[in-house]
Amino acid sequence: MASSNAAIAAGACVNPDDGIACLLLVVVSSALVLVPQSTRLLGLEILIVVVPMLVITVRSQLTHRRQNRDDPPLWTLSRMAGTAAATVPCTVAGVSLALHGGGFYWLAPAALLGIIGAVYNAWVLLVEIVR
């Protein structure tokens, strides 16, 4: 009984919307790179995609933290780390491309870490939540 309660509690730290948002960010930013255009315009487009996602996910995570103050801080940290793994490098890439015309190397970790974060999120949802 205690192990099933722990599994339910561990699954409570994951939000399926975060995983979907990470995957969408990876797909959209990768698709934008395929379009022939100036690097500064690409940077602006990436920022247009990543900034709203960053604002929405941080707001939802802070709201979740306020509503569940009894949850261990590690749960909140794991939720934020999964999303930040994709959004932070993508934000750096967007700013760097928009201002300096360089920053493509930041898109590779954004894509890889975004996929890893989404897979982790899905794993917790599939394995740790007792149905």
| pLDDT, tens digit (0-9, with 9 covering 90-100), for 18-65 | 778 888 889 999 999 999 999 999 999 999 999 998 888 888 888 888
Q: What is the pLDDT of residues 63-90, one digit of tens each?
A: 888 888 888 888 778 778 878 888 899 9
Look up the pTM and report it.
0.78
Q: Domain total for the chain?
A: 1
Q: For residue 130, what pLDDT is reported?
A: 61
81 vs 104, which has greater pLDDT? 104
* Predicted local confidence at residue 34, as pLDDT: 93
Q: What is the largest CA-CA distance in the chain?
A: 58
Which residue type sits at 119? V
Q: Which domain holds residue 12?
A: 2-128
